[in-house]
Amino acid sequence: MTTPFHPPVKRSVEIAGHKTSISLEPLFWELLKQAAVAEGLPISALVARIDSERIVAPTPPGLAGAVRVWLVGWLTSKLSQGQSA
């Protein structure tokens, strides 16, 4: 990737047996792939986990926003532990 500034890219994922699409910037898609590998999950399973966490929030964000916020939290946690993402 030559620049982190790129419009969102829409991709389909399957959550709880149904397909949905998420639009994320390529930087977030790459982080999502890295997080899925680190968590030992397929991307769709990680997105499903994030989705289940977001829907119980007092004011649930949209799925794409929840993925971005989760990834920032995940990355922050890894950096504070001295691990690379």
**What CATH number is attached to the domain comprising 46?**
1.10.3990.20
In a domain, 21, yes or no: yes
Encoded tokens for 79: 């950096």
Residue 74 has pLDDT above 60, yes or no: yes
**75 part of a folded domain:** yes
Asked whether residue 13 is assigned to any structural domain, the reply reads yes
Q: Is residue 85 part of a domain?
A: no
Q: Is residue 20 part of a domain?
A: yes
Average pLDDT over residues 19-43: 96
Alpha-carbon dihedral angle through residues 55, 22, 39, 75, given to the nearest 10 degrees: -90
Q: Please report whether residue 2 resides in a domain.
A: no
Residue 45: inside a domain: yes
Per-residue pLDDT, averaged over 62-69, amounts to 97
CA atoms within 13 A on the CB side of 77: 8
> What pLDDT sits at residue 78?
87
Q: Mean pLDDT in the chain?
A: 92
46 or 4, greater pLDDT: 46
From the CB of residue 82, how many other CB atoms can be counted at a distance below 10 Å? 6
Domain that holds residue 36: 9-80
The Cα 41–Cα 14 span in angstroms is 13
50, 79 contact by CB (below 8 A): no
Number of structural domains the chain divides into = 1
Banded pLDDT at 44 (limits 50, 70, 90) = very high
Bridge partners for 22 per DSSP: 11
Q: How confident is the model at residue 1 (pLDDT cuts 50, 70, 90)?
A: low
